[in-house]
Amino acid sequence: MQRRTVVFLWLTIVTGLVSAQDAAPAVTPIPATLGQEAPFPYRWKFPAPSPEELASRRAALAAAVGNGVAITVSAPPPELSSGSRYKPDHDSWYFTGVDSDPCVWVMTAKDGKIDSEKLFLPTFNKSYELWNGRRWCAGPESAAATGIPESKIVALSGGNFGGANSMKPVEDHLRALMTSNPAVWYLEGAEGRAEGGGLSIDTPDRGGMVKKFLRSIAPEKTKIRGLGGLSGKLRSVKSPYEIELIRRAAWITGEGFHDAMRHARPGMWEFEFQGFMERAFTSRGATGVPYYPIAASGPNACILHYTDSRRQMQDGDVVLCDIAAEYGYYAADITRSFPVNGKFTPRQKQVYEAVLAGQEAAAAALKPGASLMSLDAACRDAMIAAGLKSAELHPHGLGHHVGLDVHDPGAMVFTPGMVITIEPGAYIRKESLGIRIEDLYLVTETGAECLSKMIPKTVAEIEALVGSAWRK
Ligand code: GLY
Ligand code: MN
Ligand code: MN
């Protein structure tokens, strides 16, 4: 063999070995749109709801109101020292597509159609933007994005850095509506504390403030009701756009589970595991987490809302991990339970497979017309048939709707377009064993689709994945 050929072959083998060792873990490529930032003036860092979709949501609300007025009010900004980013009020976001403060939307409905609407937004303010960045302001860009004509957008004056926007135009509009339109009034967040007599953007309890203000100006016989019942009904059936965002939240969550479970090992701290998942979320464009993460090992898995993440995982532990990503304000909610040493004991396997059988029975029963109660009955029967005692079965609900809120509003009886979790569990304190399996399901015309099916779940899949980053 020629010397040059030998060198070439040797190099090829060495290069092959090195690249096999250095090979990045197999992760799905990140879809280009996941990190995309929409152009100015939008604040969105993810695909936005179209103005047409926003308009159809508002029309659907008018149909639900019939005759009356609906009001949504933006959430106040968090304290700078709270460590939280701004999160819009979900009803305000759902109907307006505006995710900054202040934003008030007032719509009157007549015979189920929109009769009038006004969107109150701040005027552009240079000093505000210098300190805080972009926010939605009165103007043509906001009209184009929300689908509300510019003629119906009212500018709120003031709002220099350190100064509040004036709510006077909102107050005047509501007073005028009260005299001419003494119908049923709906408003966002009807209960709670209220401060002061008028409307102020400095009041943290917006729902309470609006309710108190309306009560002070409305005729005695005017009914003031919370918006939640009506908006919840609309929000519970997801549009294709919303389903796409939930799919992406589930996909990002799946990437986190793959990454974290590959690295899991006895001796790992619960917070380390949580860190693997959160790193995967952030690096794949998640916009946050929709609920406080649960990484609970051994006995901690029997504490349903365990959030300390301060225990070192021991050989022989099962770890219950209920951690998910948020994408575009939409939640995922997914749980996996796995042996930290990569191998279930026969007893752990028996309990795990019983919980999985329960979830599969519930998922098989999920279709339009089914209810959480009927699913739970099917689930419990399957778990008992698989050898669990009723005292060991989940003391919590079997599932819930998921959307803008992790516990989204929604009906008990399912229709196509709803997204729910199915999350049975078995909690056996005296064995320090807690197992929950939670997945996201979209109700379809004929049954259901699991939106988190890419995340390993069978005993064989889990045992192959756990520790695969370090185990020989
Ligand atoms: N992670 C909250 C829940 O499962 O409902
Ligand atoms: Mn859940
Ligand atoms: Mn959960």
What digits encode the pLDDT tens for the residues 46-72? 778 899 999 999 999 999 999 999 999
311 and 394 part of one domain: yes
- Identify whether the C-beta of residue 57 lies closer than 8 Å to the C-beta of residue 96: no
| CB distance 188 to ligand 1 below 6 Å | no
Please say whether the beta carbons of 304 and 281 come within 8 A. no
C-alpha 304 – ligand 1 centre gap (Å): 9
The answer to whether residues 229 and 244 belong to one domain is no
Residue 364 domain-assigned (yes or no):
yes
Final residue of a structural domain among 213, 234, 255: 234
Please determine, for residue 15, whether its predicted confidence score (pLDDT) is greater than 60.
no
Q: How high does pLDDT run on average in the chain?
A: 88
Residue 7 lies in a domain: no
Residue 117 included in any domain: yes
Ligand 1 atom nearest residue 322's Cα: 1
Same domain, 230 and 252: no
Q: In terms of domains, do 220 and 254 share one?
A: no
Are the CB atoms for 299 and 432 separated by under 8 Å?
Answer: yes
Same domain flag for 153 and 178: yes
Please give the Cα distance from 84 to 7 (Å, whole number): 58
In the prediction, which pLDDT does 376 show? 98
**Tokens 């969105």 — which residue?**
44
From 234, 263, 278, the end of a domain falls on 234
CATH number at residue 273: 3.90.230.10
Nearest to 214 by CA among 106, 114, 120: 106
In this structure, of 14-28, 108-122, 163-177, 381-395, the range with the lowest mean pLDDT score is 14-28
- Pocket test residue of 334, 421, 427, 437 for ligand 1, highest count of atoms within 8 A of CB: 421
Question: Does residue 312 belong to any structural domain of this protein?
Answer: yes
Please check whether residues 191 and 312 belong to one and the same domain. no
Question: Is 161 in the same domain as 263?
Answer: no
Q: Look at residues 239, 287, 279, 282 and name the one whose alpha carbon lies nearest to residue 403.
A: 239
DSSP 294-358: EEEEGGGGGSTT------B--TT-EEEEE---EETTEE---EEEEETTS---HHHHHHHHHHHHH
Phi/psi at 155 (5° precision): -85, 130
Q: Give the CATH number of the domain where residue 169 resides.
A: 3.40.350.10
Query: Is 15 a domain residue?
Result: no
Instruction: Retrieve residue 271's tokens.
Output: 């917070």
Range among 23-32, 203-212, 398-407 rated most confident: 398-407
215 and 244 in a single domain? The answer is: no
Residue 291 lies in a domain: yes
On whether both 64 and 102 belong to a single domain, the answer is: yes
Mean pLDDT of 97-121: 95
Q: What is the mean pLDDT of residues 8-33?
A: 42
Ligand 1 atom nearest to CA at 436? 4
The pLDDT assigned to 348 comes to: 98
Q: What is the side-by-side order of every strand in the sheet holding 113-122?
A: 153-156, 113-122, 104-110, 68-73, 184-187, 224-226
By CB atoms closer than 10 A (0-12, 13-18, 19+), residue 396 is middle
CB 451 within 8 A of CB 442: yes
The domain boundary, picked from 181, 207, 234, lies at: 234
pLDDT in tens, 339-389: 999 999 999 999 999 999 999 999 999 999 999 999 999 999 999 999 999
**Do 300 and 402 reside in the same domain of the chain?**
yes
- pLDDT bin (cut points 50, 70, 90) of residue 408 is very high
- Per-residue pLDDT, 196: 58
423 Cβ below 6 A of ligand 1 = yes
Ion ligand 2, residues whose Cβ is below 5 A away? 333, 421
Residue 296 and residue 165 share a domain: no
Q: Which of 421, 375, 443 is nearest to 237 (CA)?
A: 443
Q: By CB neighbour count within 10 A (0-12 exposed, 13-18 middle, 19+ buried), where does 216 fall?
A: exposed
Which of ligand 1's atoms lies nearest the C-alpha of 438? 4
Ligand 3: centre distance to CA 268 (Å)? 22
pTM equals: 0.89
Note whether 190 and 65 are within 8 A (CB): no
pLDDT score at 12: 37
For the chain, the C-alpha Rg in angstroms (whole number) is 26
Instruction: Tell me: do 213 and 359 sit in the same domain.
Output: no
Distant-in-sequence, close-in-space partners of 8: CB < 8 Å, separation ≥ 6: none
User: CB within 8 A of 3, min separation 6: which ones?
Assistant: none
What is the residue range of 398's domain? 237-465
**Token pair recorded at residue 382:** 């399957």
Tally of domains in the chain: 2
Distance CA 439, CA 422 (A): 6
229 in a domain, yes or no?
Answer: yes
Q: Does residue 13 fall inside a structural domain?
A: no
Cα distance between residue 223 and residue 210, in whole Å: 14
**Token pair 């390993």: residue:** 456
CA of 79 to the centre of ligand 3 (A): 27
Q: Which of 294, 322, 336 to mutate to test the pocket of ligand 1 (most atoms within 8 A of CB)?
A: 322
Q: Which residues contact 222 (CB under 8 A, 6 or more apart)?
A: 178, 182, 183, 184, 185, 214
CB of 101 within 6 A of ligand 1: the answer is no
